[in-house]
Chain A
Amino acid sequence: MKVYIRSAACISPQKTFNNPSFLDEAVERVGNRLNCIEPDYNEIIDPKLTRRMSRVIKMSVASAFACLKNAGIDKPEAIVTGTAYGCLEDTGTFLTNMVEQDEEPLSPVAFVQSTHNTIGAQIALLLKCNSYNNTFVNGSISFENALLDAMMLLAENTDHILVGGMDEITDMSHAILSRTGLYKRTPISNFDLFKSGTKGTVGGEGAAFFLLSNTANENNLACIDDVSTFHKPADITETARQIEAFFEAQSIDSGDIDLLIWGNNGDTKNDEIYSQLKQSVFSGIASINYKNLCGEYPVSTAFASWLGANIIKSNHIPDSLNPEGSINDKIRRVLIYNHYQNIHHSLILLSSC
């Protein structure tokens, strides 16, 4: 089910949006929360509309529009989104109002915009796009579900599918996830994320959109060869076996992969899985981390896919990514491997067109 990535656009904690330079300088933050660097939305979306939109809606609509513009497509033939949390800010607002006002009549705006399909729906509404529109809300593989849907659609006689992954941090979600122990207790520079040797990661967020197509085009960034997920492996042996099965299904072995983009997040326990795999299935593959740039969040693989596609197109790994291992002259195949709290694991294989 190989498909082409015609264009990609991403709003992230780095200068990734509408920026001709590809991560030449990385942005450093100290703390345990990496918020997105957001553009002036009034230049992208009608200011009358942005007033009511929450951050995640604005980030998503802006990156979807930029993605379509880069591809030269006015209306996609389908819009598919993936988000673990959906519109958290509006959900939190409505819940808070409901509690504080003891179920007295409330404003409907936050409720209406709290539904998980708001983003896909807003994009359709603004584009007047009647085509297939779907939203996956499946935790940290929501983006992978959306990719699979898009790839199936492309095999069903459609072309030009807009697919995106997005999640936001809000003050409430950050407070809650801090209490669960997800984040580091003491402030840290994201540049030092993998040096701390402590528990916890830094929170992240972002919106990344891709225009996927069946059609060869000199502007295509890369191909997606396949996407695969697995859930709660019994142990590291099963994890390795699942990854090997993925290689077999693609008729490749680890030597065919020029670069591994993997999901280390700076939490010692979490990252142990990656270092064990480096001794086995991923042995000898050059690798880069990405969560020091975008933080940990459920659909972070959307950011990693943006990164991988641009690395393949430019055949260049920005210095800010500190690659480990020797890099081949031509980067033909990039594998993204991520796991979220050892619950969901995902593999996305990209290749040059």
Chain B
Amino acid sequence: MSAAVFVAGAGVISGIGNNVPECLSALENSTTGIDRISYLRTNHQGLLPASEVKLGNAELALLSGFQPSTSRNVMLSMIAAKEAWDNSGINSMPGLRTGFVSATTIGGMDKTENFFVDFVADHNKGRLRDLAYHECGNVSQAVAEKLGIKHHVSTISTACSSSANAIMYGARLIKHNILDAVIAGGTDALTRFTLNGFNTLLILDEQYCQPFDENRRGLNLGEGAGYIVLVSERVASVLKKDPGCSLSGYCNFNDAYHQTASSPEGDGPYGAMIGALKMSGLQPEDIDYINLHGTGTSNNDSSEGAAIKRLFEPHYPKMSSTKTFTGHTLGASAGIEAVFSTLAIKAGIVYPNLRLQTPMAELPFVPEINFSRNQNIKNVLSNSFGFGGNCSSLIFSKN
């Protein structure tokens, strides 16, 4: 098994921008994407803020090349995956075994929930074509076909850690010499299904979320897609531009504590982080920046914070939750945050944790509140923890 897997490209669409430069600019200017809901039709408009992609389906269709009637999730996935693929320059290299490993928690639920309005009233009603993307796998398949990727397509769904597991799986397909290059990450559009689901759990913030704040009230949902292009050492060596960044460690660890809550001591987050460190051969003090899972719920931030304290005390790296910009994009979050993490390495960036007013009393560290560039960032840890105890951490390292 070959050891190193390099990051050759990145693509993202989120509430703060439709591509990498737009997102980076919003991050630099501390411009959040969280706002009043205005694209999703829901009774919660005006009551629950969210970070929507600031484009209607007709505009997404133009950008993605799909019909406007296609699931919004397919179009978001296509836009970010294509940016990553083009950015990598792999497309011009013939004869490679290529794959698409995409994560999503909702598939084409945006269309299914419209279908159900008619279907609930009468099981003979509802347009069947609205179910074309209900199965998560159909979302990935549609995008892979449009990108011309044939050797391997797979779809992963492990709640909020989904796209971290997609990135891990993609890397392993390369290490096992099954593929040469993989677009890996995830996508999730905002839907009434997830908005109402999280609302029933009473973990949505009616104001703008404040992760790692003593007075945090919950999370804001978001939508988007984020992908990185992973390549083998052999492919990396012949690329026109130096990838500059590798995926040096990862770990999938289950909290096995509760279906929706994290353990108070953060056993799952701790296990995922220490497992990723072990694989990368790094010590805790080698980590320069942590892109926190940092949802803003009382439970997540306590649990994640406790795990960071256990692992890093007394040398705390800089850290922040970029969900203060993008909202929690669920199955897309680890993909989007992987893109931000690799950008952090390339340009020495530390992102701000917006709206932090009162640091959590129980924690001896405070997330960063300012954007900074040209820092010495060699290793970035990115955390993603989800329902079902699914905890995953990734480590990106400067080459």
**Residues 92-129 of chain A, each 1 if its beta carbon lies under 8 Å from chain B, else 0:** 00111011101101111001111111101110110111
Chain B hits for A1, CB < 8 A: 176
A129 & B256 in contact (Cβ 8 Å cutoff): yes
Interface-central residue, A94, A111, A113, A141, by most chain B CB under 10 Å:
A111
B155 & A136 in contact (Cβ 8 Å cutoff): yes
In this complex, the interface size class of chain B, counting residues with CB under 8 Å from chain A, is: 35 or more
A138 & B137 in contact (Cβ 8 Å cutoff): yes
Counting CB contacts under 8 A, is B39 at the interface? Answer: no
- Closest CB in chain B relative to A99 CB, distance in Å: 5
In the complex, which of the residues B120, B141, B156, B199 contacts A99, with contact meaning CB atoms closer than 8 Å? B120
A138 & B154 in contact (Cβ 8 Å cutoff): yes
In the complex, which of the residues A115, A175, A176 contacts B388, with contact meaning CB atoms closer than 8 Å? A115
**Residues 47-61 of chain A, each 1 if its beta carbon lies under 8 Å from chain B, else 0:** 000000000000000
Interface-central residue, A118, A135, A155, by most chain B CB under 10 Å:
A135
- Closest CB in chain B relative to A269 CB, distance in Å: 19
Chain B hits for A105, CB < 8 A: 199-200
B387 & A112 in contact (Cβ 8 Å cutoff): yes
Chain B hits for A125, CB < 8 A: 256-259, 388-389
B117 & A99 in contact (Cβ 8 Å cutoff): yes
A135 & B43 in contact (Cβ 8 Å cutoff): no
Chain B hits for A118, CB < 8 A: 259, 388
B259 & A175 in contact (Cβ 8 Å cutoff): no
| Distance A94 CA – B42 CA, assembled complex (angstroms) | 16
Counting CB contacts under 8 A, is A139 at the interface? Answer: yes
- Closest CB in chain A relative to B352 CB, distance in Å: 31
A136 & B267 in contact (Cβ 8 Å cutoff): no
- Closest CB in chain A relative to B147 CB, distance in Å: 13
- Closest CB in chain B relative to A255 CB, distance in Å: 28
Counting CB contacts under 8 A, is B386 at the interface? Answer: yes
| Distance A279 CA – B219 CA, assembled complex (angstroms) | 59
Closest to B176 in A: A152
A103 & B42 in contact (Cβ 8 Å cutoff): yes
| Distance A127 CA – B257 CA, assembled complex (angstroms) | 10
Counting CB contacts under 8 A, is A289 at the interface? Answer: no
- With A95-B193, A125-B257: A120-B135 Cβ-Cβ less than 8 Å: no
| Distance A131 CA – B390 CA, assembled complex (angstroms) | 10
Counting CB contacts under 8 A, is A145 at the interface? Answer: yes
Chain A hits for B201, CB < 8 A: 108, 111-112
A138 & B136 in contact (Cβ 8 Å cutoff): yes
Chain A hits for B176, CB < 8 A: 1, 152, 155
B156 & A134 in contact (Cβ 8 Å cutoff): yes
Counting CB contacts under 8 A, is B44 at the interface? Answer: yes
- Closest CB in chain A relative to B106 CB, distance in Å: 9
| Distance A137 CA – B120 CA, assembled complex (angstroms) | 25
- With A138-B136, A138-B137: A121-B254 Cβ-Cβ less than 8 Å: yes
Counting CB contacts under 8 A, is A8 at the interface? Answer: no
A138 & B155 in contact (Cβ 8 Å cutoff): yes
In the complex, which of the residues B137, B173, B259, B271 contacts A137, with contact meaning CB atoms closer than 8 Å? B137
Counting CB contacts under 8 A, is A246 at the interface? Answer: no
A130 & B254 in contact (Cβ 8 Å cutoff): yes
In this complex, the interface size class of chain A, counting residues with CB under 8 Å from chain B, is: 35 or more
B197 & A137 in contact (Cβ 8 Å cutoff): no
B197 & A94 in contact (Cβ 8 Å cutoff): yes
| Distance A182 CA – B153 CA, assembled complex (angstroms) | 24
- With A106-B200, A111-B200, A156-B1: A117-B155 Cβ-Cβ less than 8 Å: no
A115 & B387 in contact (Cβ 8 Å cutoff): yes
Instruction: Tell me the residues in window 88-138 of chain B with beta carbons closer than 8 Å to chain A beta carbons.
Output: 104-105, 107, 112-113, 116-117, 119-120, 123-124, 128, 131, 135-138
**Residues 177-217 of chain B, each 1 if its beta carbon lies under 8 Å from chain A, else 0:** 00000000000000011001101110000000000000000
B154 & A133 in contact (Cβ 8 Å cutoff): no
- Closest CB in chain A relative to B309 CB, distance in Å: 20
Chain B hits for A100, CB < 8 A: 120
Counting CB contacts under 8 A, is A21 at the interface? Answer: no
Counting CB contacts under 8 A, is B150 at the interface? Answer: yes
Say which one of B157-165, B226-234, B361-369 lies at the interface with A.
Answer: B157-165
Chain B hits for A136, CB < 8 A: 154-157
- With A124-B256, A137-B155: A103-B192 Cβ-Cβ less than 8 Å: yes
- Closest CB in chain A relative to B24 CB, distance in Å: 31
Counting CB contacts under 8 A, is A179 at the interface? Answer: yes
- Closest CB in chain A relative to B257 CB, distance in Å: 7
In the complex, which of the residues B105, B131, B255, B259 contacts A122, with contact meaning CB atoms closer than 8 Å? B259
Instruction: Tell me the residues in window 169-222 of chain A with beta carbons closer than 8 Å to chain B beta carbons.
Output: 172, 175-176, 179-180
In the complex, which of the residues A79, A84, A99, A114 contacts B135, with contact meaning CB atoms closer than 8 Å? A84
Chain B hits for A108, CB < 8 A: 197, 200-201
**Residues 243-269 of chain B, each 1 if its beta carbon lies under 8 Å from chain A, else 0:** 000000000111111111000000110
A106 & B157 in contact (Cβ 8 Å cutoff): no
- With A135-B156, A136-B156, A156-B1: A121-B200 Cβ-Cβ less than 8 Å: no
Q: Mind listing 8 A-B residue pairs with CB under 8 Å?
A: A116-B105, A117-B388, A137-B155, A139-B135, A139-B137, A139-B138, A145-B154, A156-B1
Chain B residues packing against A (C-beta within 8 Å): 1, 42-44, 104-105, 107, 112-113, 116-117, 119-120, 123-124, 128, 131, 135-138, 140-141, 145, 150, 153-159, 165, 169, 172-173, 176, 192-193, 196-197, 199-201, 252-260, 267-268, 271, 386-390
Chain A residues packing against B (C-beta within 8 Å): 1, 79, 84-86, 94-96, 98-100, 102-103, 105-108, 111-118, 120-122, 124-125, 127-139, 141-142, 145, 149, 152, 155-156, 172, 175-176, 179-180, 231-232
